[in-house]
Amino acid sequence: MILKLKKKVPHTKIILPIMSPTMTEGKISKWLVQEGDQIRVGDKIAEIEMDKAIVSLDSAKNGYIGKIIRKTGDKIKVGGLMAIVIQKESDSSKIDEIEFNDIEEPKESNLQPDVPHEMILMPALTPTMKEGRISKWNFKVGDKVNPKDVLVEIITDVAIISFSVSKPGFVSKIFVDSSEENIKIGNPIAILVENESDINKEFTPFISPKIEESTPIVLNYPPIGVMILLIFITVLYPFL
């Protein structure tokens, strides 16, 4: 969709991402926010019905919902504009300056989902970690990273832990910085592209549907008395 918004209003666009390798369009099953609501990174803003399931779409930016372009039940192509997010609540009065008489679907040629890339998600670095915060990025957009390079240092519920990449690439986008708090596990924090020439390309990244909450692993140990008996038998058995 093409909307005309004055450049004086700082804003970002919420577009429909690729949520499965075969996805070409989606349907807005439900909006979880309304115009004027404040949103933070990781907040669930909509439920999208795609070709295989209904998954939640999370915000990658802080701000306020300035305008919802596509309504519940609307079908939209991958890369299509869903909503406008403004940075300042006071700019909500300027949303009416958008001209709706020149709305078009995005041209397919503008979408490049085949750009080789890796979506870096907030990792689970401790067994009890549910969310994290960026302590420091060690690379900036345009930098090359190699395997085992510490891309970012993350504040967990236990300590500050270094996160290294497993594949070489170039930093194409960084979604969050140290000012963003409570970034849930599985939320996008950066994109790496394989080729340096793809850094400035506009493409729709592939985002895998996330598990809402990880199930903790519970280890069921036998009673202490049984453990002592087992150890006793194991040690003395050769002498019996």
What pLDDT does 20 receive?
Answer: 64
pLDDT bin (cut points 50, 70, 90) of residue 190 is: confident
Strand-pair category, 144-145 with 160-164: unpaired
> What's the rounded Cα separation, in Å, for the pair 212 and 233?
45
Say whether pLDDT at 5 is over 50. no
Rounded mean pLDDT of 154-160?
Answer: 90
Domain with CATH 2.40.50.100 in the chain: 11-106, 112-240
* Residue 7, burial from CB neighbour count under 10 angstroms (0-12, 13-18, 19+): exposed
> For the structural domain made of 11-106, what CATH number should be given?
2.40.50.100
- Residues 6 or more apart in contact with residue 226 via CB below 8 angstroms: none
Q: pLDDT over 90 for what percent of the chain?
A: 22
How many helical (H) and strand (E) elements, i.e. helices and strands, does the chain have? 1, 16
> What's the rounded Cα separation, in Å, for the pair 195 and 234?
57
> For the structural domain made of 112-240, what CATH number should be given?
2.40.50.100
